[in-house]
Amino acid sequence: MNRGDMIARAKEHFGKLIEEQLDRIEMMKSQTQFIDYSKLDTLVIGIVGGDGIGPYITAQAQRVLEFLLQDKMKQINIEFKVIDGLTIENRVKHNKAIPDDVLEQLKQCHLILKGPTTTPRAGDPWPNIESANVAMRKELDLFANVRPVRIPQEKINWTFFRENTEGAYAVGSKGIRVNEDLAIDFTVTTYEGSYRIIKAAFDYARKTGANKVTVVTKANVVKTTDGMFLDVAREIASEYPEVEWDDWYIDIMTAKLLDPKRRNQFKVVVLPNLYGDILTDEAAELQGGVGTAGSANIGKRYAMFEAIHGSAPRMVEEGRAQYADPSSIIRAAGMLLEHIGYTDEARKLDMALDICGTFERKLVVTGRSTGATGAQFADYIMETLSDNNLEERWREFTNN
């Protein structure tokens, strides 16, 4: 192909991307209100197993949720909807990140609890389809990825608000391979998209009394998109005089999370998608490993809660899936409860998880037959939840 044709083809592709993004902005502008769960006749919770150990651990999380919600379920209709089909095999069969019928079922839910899904990489036996995670975040417009990280002994209490639909991910699978020598990807920032995530972070800082927001970009180099993100932050900050805020560049922020003198000063952190992806893995590792963190993906109409570890296909191949640790997905279930305002249940579940997984450890999940099964661990959690002295027991361990 000659140079003129190459450029024409790239321009056409680029034009389509801009059109898609302008449509997306219209869609965002039309969605002003958050759903009000208290006004629903029936609350539908989708249970999506995903791949590998996913169906095993989500089933345990569902048991714990049903247990915790048994009283509530006498007052309001809560329907659990198990959704199969978000497996790599089925996605490959339809050559889609989320097959149409699965997407339709997801859209019938209000809340989704999701196990891990395999993300094909270049070189895998699967076609290189888009990650189911990324697709779900986009399809259901789950713009806020909220990831809490706690390190009690250092008084660290971080809540990351990672933008979840834009940045390097918006058209991450739609870059242009111009010719053999030239590949171009795009990063997308919109006013609307920045506004809603930064506002969510400031609202959270105000609501929780943390009153401190750190905005992270690389606006000194990525001037147009990150520059806009930072401008929007400045604008929003002026509407929250009681909330202190500062801005950091991602490189030095990554370093400062390792600085014991500095790091417990961070409280609420808001940042574009890719920086958030990286920084939250670092933060989770400091808490005890990426598998220990939960992740909430929140939009105005839908919300999805997930474990952030992988699908461990080897455990299934070796017949050990029933020994997989359900802690992370059960934490995610706790975030689901918190999100719909069931704060009491959420707090209890957090305490039970701390007691069973960190402090008391009467049963330990090792991933093998040397340890407890996921079902036994879930039983242990439910027993602990039934203890009237749960709170005292938890305080004894934490000394506060």
Q: What are the tokens at 11?
A: 């321009």
CA distance 295 to 263: 21
Task: Of 96, 110, 116, give the one whose Cα is nearest residue 55.
Answer: 116
What residue 134 binds from Mg ion, ligand IPM, none (CB within 5 to 8 A, per partner kind)? ligand IPM
Q: What are the Cα distances from residue 68, in Å, to 201, 307, 331, 344?
A: 28, 19, 13, 10
**Structure letter (DSSP) for residue 216:** E
Q: What are the tokens at 186?
A: 């795009």
Nearest to ligand IPM of 90, 211 (CB atom): 90
The answer to whether the CB of 43 falls within 8 A of the CB of 36 is no
**Residue selected from 60, 62, 105, 133 as contacting ligand IPM according to rule CB under 6 A:** 133
What is the nearest approach in angstroms of Mg ion to the Cβ of residue 145? 9
Q: What's the number of CA atoms in the CB half-sphere (13 Å) around residue 277?
A: 10
User: Which residue has 């056409």 as its token pair?
Assistant: 12
Nearest to ligand IPM of 166, 354 (CB atom): 166
What is the x/- site pattern for Mg ion, positions 274-293, by CB under 5 A?
---x----------------
Task: Of 342, 362, 316, 337, give the one whose Cα is nearest residue 50.
Answer: 316
- CB count in 10 Å sphere of residue 18: 11
The answer to whether the CB of 115 falls within 8 A of the CB of 58 is yes
Question: Does residue 287 belong to the site contacting ligand IPM (CB under 6 A)?
Answer: no
What residue 133 binds from ligand IPM, Mg ion, none (CB within 5 to 8 A, per partner kind)? ligand IPM
Sequence-ordered list of residues with C-beta below 8 angstroms from that of 281, at least 6 positions apart, any chain:
290
Sequence-ordered list of residues with C-beta below 8 angstroms from that of 148, at least 6 positions apart, any chain:
157, 158, 159, 160, 293, 294, 335
Q: Which stretch binds Mg ion (CB under 5 A): 171-179, 241-249, 272-280, 291-299?
A: 272-280
Question: Does residue 131 belong to the site contacting ligand IPM (CB under 6 A)?
Answer: yes
Task: Of 124, 40, 138, give the one whose Cα is nearest residue 88.
Answer: 124
The answer to whether the CB of 85 falls within 8 A of the CB of 99 is yes
Q: What are the Cα distances from residue 143, in Å, to 28, 47, 164, 179?
A: 10, 20, 5, 33
What is the nearest approach in angstroms of Mg ion to the Cβ of residue 282? 10
What is the nearest approach in angstroms of ligand IPM to the Cβ of residue 246? 24
Q: Which stretch binds ligand IPM (CB under 6 A): 5-13, 128-136, 337-345, 368-376?
A: 128-136
What residue 119 binds from ligand IPM, Mg ion, none (CB within 5 to 8 A, per partner kind)? ligand IPM
Q: Which stretch binds ligand IPM (CB under 6 A): 64-72, 126-134, 216-224, 248-256?
A: 126-134
**Residue selected from 119, 190, 328, 384 as contacting ligand IPM according to rule CB under 6 A:** 119
What is the nearest approach in angstroms of ligand IPM to the Cβ of residue 117? 8
**Residue selected from 142, 268, 271, 308 as contacting ligand IPM according to rule CB under 6 A:** 308
- 220 phi and psi angles, rounded to 5 deg: -75, -25
Q: What's the number of CA atoms in the CB half-sphere (13 Å) around residue 219?
A: 18
Task: Of 112, 170, 105, give the one whose Cα is nearest residue 295.
Answer: 112
What residue 379 binds from Mg ion, ligand IPM, none (CB within 5 to 8 A, per partner kind)? none
What residue 214 binds from Mg ion, ligand IPM, none (CB within 5 to 8 A, per partner kind)? none
- SS3 state at 87: coil
Q: Which stretch binds ligand IPM (CB under 6 A): 30-38, 127-135, 184-192, 237-245?
A: 127-135
Nearest to Mg ion of 310, 371 (CB atom): 310
Nearest to ligand IPM of 112, 351 (CB atom): 112
CA distance 322 to 254: 37
Question: Does residue 139 belong to the site contacting ligand IPM (CB under 6 A)?
Answer: no
Nearest to ligand IPM of 119, 225 (CB atom): 119
What is the nearest approach in angstroms of ligand IPM to the Cβ of residue 324? 18
What is the nearest approach in angstroms of Mg ion to the Cβ of residue 211? 28
**Residue selected from 66, 235, 247, 277 as contacting ligand IPM according to rule CB under 6 A:** 277
What residue 384 binds from Mg ion, ligand IPM, none (CB within 5 to 8 A, per partner kind)? none
Q: Kindly list the residues in this chain that would bind Mg ion in the complex (CB under 5 A).
A: 277
Q: Kindly list the residues in this chain that would bind ligand IPM in the complex (CB under 6 A).
A: 119, 131, 133-134, 277, 308
